[in-house]
């Protein structure tokens, strides 16, 4: 299966990659760089067998969520699920919730399709496309019960900070897409980004912090292999959970 839009790139995401000056025609949030990565045979099989059932093609018009999931239910948008480890776990522990999951990294999409097959998950749909477009064109304001943004690319260098997902304009759009009472849950292991998240989410008038500052890790979010490794090395992790008023 050919993956749409894939441009192989050697540089790791969230670091030195990318252009400092956006092209004048593309002054929009570009939060990722397409990474090279091998799709394994198992992932390729999952694409072929499960792709037609669980992949939602990008379309520049509103998606009928009930039709997409084959049932009505609260929908959570996940942005950037990586290899889908946390996604599959959360879909298992919250079976009544529908998860619309965006990721642009082809092997990650294959990996989550594989988990869907192995764990017989029926409440995940994948859009292998930029979540910024999905939010702008496929989702109606007020349609989401929640948004998950776990360990988004930190874009460490100051001149790349503008590529971070959690910034005022995008957070405003996320908040507008939440139902009243809906939530945004972010997590990061990069303290300066955690501080930015806290500042930006706190400044959004539609949102209320559920904690005083950082939140305790909600029970549904698992500790992934990556996170466990970091914790063993003494790194911190910060969760933030805000509700739409
Ligand atoms: C650092 S990884 C974290 C992955 C995963 N959430 C985890 O906790 O392991 C960030 C992921 O977000 C994806 N990503 C970044 N911006 C995105 C966007 N606008 N739309 C979809 N995926 C995006 C990247 O491709 C990357 O796989």
The preferred substitution site among 104, 167, 238 for testing ligand 1, maximizing ligand atoms within 8 Å of CB, is 104
DSSP code string of 25-53: GG-S-----PPP-PPPHHHHHHHHHHHHH
Is residue 211 in some structural domain? yes
pLDDT of residue 13: 45
- CB neighbours (10 Å) of residue 231? 13
**CA atoms lying within 13 Å on the CB side of residue 212:** 0
Condensed to tens digits (0 to 9), the pLDDT of residues 2-54 reads: 444 333 333 334 444 444 554 444 468 999 998 888 899 999 999 999 999 99
Condensed to tens digits (0 to 9), the pLDDT of residues 160-197 reads: 999 999 999 999 999 999 999 999 999 999 999 999 99
Condensed to tens digits (0 to 9), the pLDDT of residues 67-84 reads: 999 999 999 999 999 999
pLDDT of residue 112: 98
Domain that includes residue 158, residue range: 6-244
E-strand ranges in the chain read 75-79, 98-102, 124-127, 144-150, 178-188, 207-209, 238-244
The pair of structure tokens assigned to 80 is 């950037």
Give the CATH number of the domain where residue 149 resides. Answer: 3.40.50.150
**Is residue 18 in contact with ligand 1, taking CB distance under 6 Å?**
no
Is residue 150 in some structural domain? yes
Let me know: does 153 contact 14? Beta carbons within 8 Å: yes
Q: Into how many domains does the chain fold?
A: 1
In this prediction, residue 91 has a pLDDT band, given cuts at 50, 70 and 90, of: very high
CA of 131 to the centre of ligand 1 (A): 10
Is residue 1 in some structural domain? no
Let me know: does 146 contact 182? Beta carbons within 8 Å: yes
pLDDT of residue 10: 32
Q: What one-character DSSP code corresponds to residue 143?
A: -
Mean pLDDT for all residues in the chain: 91
**Residue nearest atom 27 of ligand 1, based on CA coordinates:** 82
Q: For 241, phi and psi rounded to 5 degrees?
A: -130, 115
Let me know: does 146 contact 77? Beta carbons within 8 Å: yes
**Is residue 79 in contact with ligand 1, taking CB distance under 6 Å?**
yes
Q: Is 41 annotated in the active site?
A: no
Condensed to tens digits (0 to 9), the pLDDT of residues 125-155 reads: 999 999 999 999 999 999 999 999 999 999 9
pLDDT above 90 for 121: yes
Provide the 3-class DSSP secondary structure of residue 111.
helix
Q: What value does the mean pLDDT take over residues 205-229?
A: 95
Q: Which of 136, 153, 189, 239 is catalytic?
A: 153
**Residue nearest atom 15 of ligand 1, based on CA coordinates:** 32
Is residue 156 in some structural domain? yes
């Amino acid at each position: 299966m050919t993956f749409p839009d894939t441009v192989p790139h050697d540089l790791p995401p969230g670091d030195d990659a990318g252009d400092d000056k956006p092209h004048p025609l593309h002054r929009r949030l570009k939060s990722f760089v397409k990474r090279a990565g091998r799709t394994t045979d198992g992932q390729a099989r999952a694409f072929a067998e499960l792709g037609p059932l669980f992949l939602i093609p990008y379309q520049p018009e509103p998606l009928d969520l009930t039709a997409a999931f084959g049932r009505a239910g609260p929908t959570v948008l996940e942005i950037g699920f990586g290899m889908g480890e946390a996604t599959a776990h959360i879909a298992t522990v919250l079976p009544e919730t529908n998860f619309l999951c965006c990721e642009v990294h082809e092997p990650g999409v294959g990996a989550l399709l594989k988990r869907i097959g192995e764990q017989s998950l029926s409440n995940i749909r994948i859009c292998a496309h930029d979540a910024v477009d999905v939010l702008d064109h496929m989702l109606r304001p007020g349609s989401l019960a929640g948004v998950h943004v776990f360990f988004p690319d930190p874009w460490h260098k100051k001149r790349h900070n503008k590529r971070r997902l959690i910034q005022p304009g995008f957070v405003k759009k996320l908040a507008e897409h939440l139902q009243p009472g809906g939530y945004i849950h972010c997590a990061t292991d990069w303290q300066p980004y955690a501080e930015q998240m806290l500042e930006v989410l706190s400044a959004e008038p539609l949102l209320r912090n559920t904690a005083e500052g950082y939140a305790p890790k909600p029970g549904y979010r698992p500790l992934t292999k990556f996170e466990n490794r970091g914790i063993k090395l003494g790194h911190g992790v910060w969760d933030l959970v805000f509700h739409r008023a």
